């Protein structure tokens, strides 16, 4: 989760590192710190709180250094405070380290190190690594070997960077389970846990793989495995632009990303729909298409919002492909010894492509012989590199912690996969062309929903002081109810639950009174009459009802307190429309409560620790 930035070259590293940390602050914002080396002397500055506080602290100190590391923290071990923030140092501050991940055997290592005379000042697991490195330095090894030897003692996950006053011409970096990227410049090099921190300085990067360690100098780098085998790394050119990670005139990243959805959905389908054949073309699946078509079972594994997208995918796959589909929480998948067969296909969905639980589940499925496919947003991410094939959603960088455009991008890609496979199976050409025609109208229909922004903001004013919400939907829109509730919880801190509409009679209806807002997702589809009956049941108990309804549905206006009217489309694509007003509703409620929607408390964008 945490953000890591480093620089080595000829420039003053401090503004470069601070700028990079600001771009990575969505990965964690409990505390921040910076360590620099100049003329064999080290300086470390750390603050509880956001990077802006660290920036002010550095302005009060005359720092000018060509070598440094920075870190913005999402707390795991130890409360957010100055002592627990990174970088961590050895006793004389000659070795400094930043870490993203979790060291599972840190207590054993800490006990051993304390017996050897090392003193700890923090409650973190990360401090163990720096003292462990120091223990090997004391034995006469250089920094690179000391880091390598130390990591062979460590169990868990890490993305680390280490510098030393005794070898001030290099940064040592290593990766296992947490992302780390080296940015290649001219007589200067960078490192980060995310390319967003690098894009202002270079478009040429090297992705470290698990079990790799690199020695980064100003003019070169060398890489090895942790077992000391030499490896050659490919330098990759990024296509991202700096404009994509700015707010673009919007007050928040979240609103910008909601409003970008007509474009992001267009980009997710661009070049992939073929009208003449009534199908989709997905290059990342071509090599595995035959095995995919003949799979006996699909499994979708994901976390959070991506899991909700997977639930929609289950409806798509079973309706159109008639392939049994299961949706699994990635965080539980590998721990219950799942039954996986070689004729299974498992889709792993992750916006970042770095979600630790999802990545671990993918490796387990791959080990058991299944076809593993990735659906992610970040080109070159770990899931993309580990999978047998897959599809990028091409939604563009998503900076807001609460996912919006990535969700609709994931739905787009799942529908494209369904269309591709359905045309290989039973879907007729006429039906394929009809689905094509519906597909290409989705961006314009999302635009029409976004035009209701002011209306939705007024509804938010009515409910900003509510303590609880219920979200109810049926069929394809049940997962959308879950996603709408999650968005509200994430950014407004209002308790909310999503349910299949009929399930409310089995318990949740006990919560309904005149103070309970209930959001119904009620487009005119095959479940509409049942939804109307459920609305009547809530109305009879004086619940306050908001309905997401079809544009031409006038009857529903008589039954509910507020309606948000949206265009119609076919069932498979409807969640791409029904979710948008729920995103805006959550956004405006949170903003009216004066909350930071881009950086909600306790959350981070990319969950890279289990």
Q: What distance in Å separates the CA atoms of residue 68 and residue 44, rounded to the nearest whole number? A: 10
The two tokens of residue 477 are 């829109």
Q: How far is CA 583 from CA 407, 449, 490, 541, 569, in A?
A: 11, 11, 11, 27, 19
Which of the 8 DSSP states describes residue 510? Answer: G
Length of the chain counted residue by residue: 610
The dihedral through the CA atoms of 432, 437, 440, 445 has a sign that is: negative
Burial of 352 (0-12, 13-18, 19+ CB in 10 A): buried
Q: How far is CA 187 from CA 64, 99, 170, in A?
A: 18, 25, 13
Q: What distance in Å separates the CA atoms of residue 314 and residue 303, rounded to the nearest whole number? A: 15
Q: Are 158 and 177 in contact, with CB atoms under 8 Å apart? A: yes
Structure-token match 């008589």, residue found: 558
Q: According to the 3-state scheme, what is the secondary structure of 132-179?
A: HHHHHHHCCCCHHHHHHHHHCCCCECEEEEEEECCCCCCEEEEEEECC
Phi-psi region of 158 (alpha: psi -120 to 50; beta: other; left: phi over 0): beta
DSSP 525-554: STTHHHHHHHHHHHHTTT-EEEEEEETT--
Q: What distance in Å separates the CA atoms of residue 231 and residue 51, rounded to the nearest whole number? A: 36
- How many other CB atoms sit within 10 Å of the CB of residue 493? 15
- Active-site positions read 2, 605
The dihedral through the CA atoms of 487, 492, 494, 495 has a sign that is: positive
Per the DSSP assignment, residues forming a β-bridge with 279 are: 274
> How many Å from the N-terminal Cα to the C-terminal Cα in the chain?
10
Structure-token match 């002592």, residue found: 83
The dihedral through the CA atoms of 377, 378, 379, 382 has a sign that is: negative
- How many other CB atoms sit within 10 Å of the CB of residue 444? 11
Q: What distance in Å separates the CA atoms of residue 255 and residue 249, rounded to the nearest whole number? A: 10
Per the DSSP assignment, residues forming a β-bridge with 325 are: 298
Structure-token match 């807001």, residue found: 400
Closest CA to 564 of 527, 537, 573, 579: 579
Q: What distance in Å separates the CA atoms of residue 506 and residue 260, rounded to the nearest whole number? A: 39
Structure-token match 């010894």, residue found: 337
Q: For residue 270, say if its preceding peptide bond is cis, omega within 30 degrees of 0.
A: no
Q: What is the CA radius of gyration of the chain?
A: 25
Q: What distance in Å separates the CA atoms of residue 71 and residue 87, rounded to the nearest whole number? A: 7
Residue 248: how many CA atoms within 13 Å on its side-chain side?
15
């Amino acid at each position: 989760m945490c953000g890591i930035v480093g620089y080595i070259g000829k420039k003053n590293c401090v503004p470069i590192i601070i700028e990079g940390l600001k771009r990575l602050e969505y990965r964690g914002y409990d505390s921040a710190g910076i360590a620099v080396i100049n003329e064999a002397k080290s300086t470390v500055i750390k603050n509880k709180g956001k990077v802006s506080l660290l920036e002010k602290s550095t302005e009060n100190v005359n720092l000018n250094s060509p070598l440094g590391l920075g870190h913005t923290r999402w707390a795991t071990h130890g409360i957010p405070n100055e002592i627990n923030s990174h970088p961590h140092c050895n006793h004389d501050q000659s070795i400094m380290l930043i870490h993203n991940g979790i060291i599972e055997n840190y207590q054993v290592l800490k006990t051993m190190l304390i017996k050897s005379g090392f003193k700890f000042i923090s409650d973190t697991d990360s401090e163990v690594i720096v003292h462990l490195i120091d223990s090997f330095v004391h034995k006469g090894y250089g920094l690179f070997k000391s880091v390598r030897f130390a990591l062979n003692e460590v169990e868990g996950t890490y993305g680390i960077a280490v510098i030393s006053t005794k070898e001030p011409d290099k940064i040592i970096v290593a990766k296992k389970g947490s992302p780390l990227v080296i940015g290649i410049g001219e007589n200067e090099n960078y490192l980060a846990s995310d390319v967003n921190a690098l894009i202002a300085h270079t478009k040429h990067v090297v992705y470290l793989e698990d079990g790799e360690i690199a020695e980064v100098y100003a003019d070169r780098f060398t890489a090895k495995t942790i077992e000391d085998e030499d490896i050659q790394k490919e330098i990759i050119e990024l296509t991202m632009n700096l404009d994509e990670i700015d707010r673009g005139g919007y007050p928040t990243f979240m609103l910008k990303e909601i409003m970008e959805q007509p474009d992001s959905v267009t980009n997710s389908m661009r070049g992939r729909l073929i009208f003449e054949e009534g199908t989709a073309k997905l290059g990342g699946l071509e090599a595995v298409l035959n095995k995919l078509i003949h799979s006996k079972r699909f499994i979708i594994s994901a976390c959070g919002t991506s899991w909700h997208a997977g639930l929609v995918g289950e409806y798509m796959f079973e309706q159109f492909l008639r392939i049994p589909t299961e949706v699994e929480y990635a965080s539980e998948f590998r721990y219950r010894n799942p039954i996986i067969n070689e004729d299974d296909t498992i889709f792993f969905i992750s916006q970042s492509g770095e979600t630790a639980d999802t990545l671990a589940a993918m490796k387990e499925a791959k080990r058991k012989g299944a076809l593993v496919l990735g659906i992610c947003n970040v080109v070159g991410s770990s899931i993309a590199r580990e999978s047998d094939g897959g599809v990028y959603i091409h939604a563009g960088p998503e900076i807001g912690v609460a996912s919006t455009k990535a969700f609709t991008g994931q739905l787009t890609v799942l529908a494209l996969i369904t269309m591709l496979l359905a045309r290989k199976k039973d879907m007729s050409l006429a039906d394929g062309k009809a689905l094509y025609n519906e597909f290409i109208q989705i961006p314009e229909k999302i635009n029409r929903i976004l035009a209701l922004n002011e209306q939705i903001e007024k509804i938010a004013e009515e409910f900003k002081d509510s303590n609880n919400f219920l979200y109810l939907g049926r069929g394809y829109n049940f997962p959308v109810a879950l996603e709408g509730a999650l968005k509200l919880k994430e950014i407004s801190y209002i308790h909310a639950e999503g349910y299949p509409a009929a399930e409310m009679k089995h318990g949740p209806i006990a919560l309904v009174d005149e103070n309970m807002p209930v959001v119904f997702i009620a487009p005119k589809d095959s479940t509409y009459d049942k939804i109307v009956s459920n609305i009547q049941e809530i109305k009879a108990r004086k619940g306050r009802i908001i309905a997401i309804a079809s544009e031409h549905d006038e009857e529903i206006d008589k039954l509910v307190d507020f309606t948000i009217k949206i265009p119609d489309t076919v069932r498979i694509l409807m969640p791409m429309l029904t979710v948008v007003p729920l995103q805006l509703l959550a956004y405006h409620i949170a903003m009216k409560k004066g909350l930071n929607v881009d950086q909600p408390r306790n959350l981070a964008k990319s969950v890279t620790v289990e």
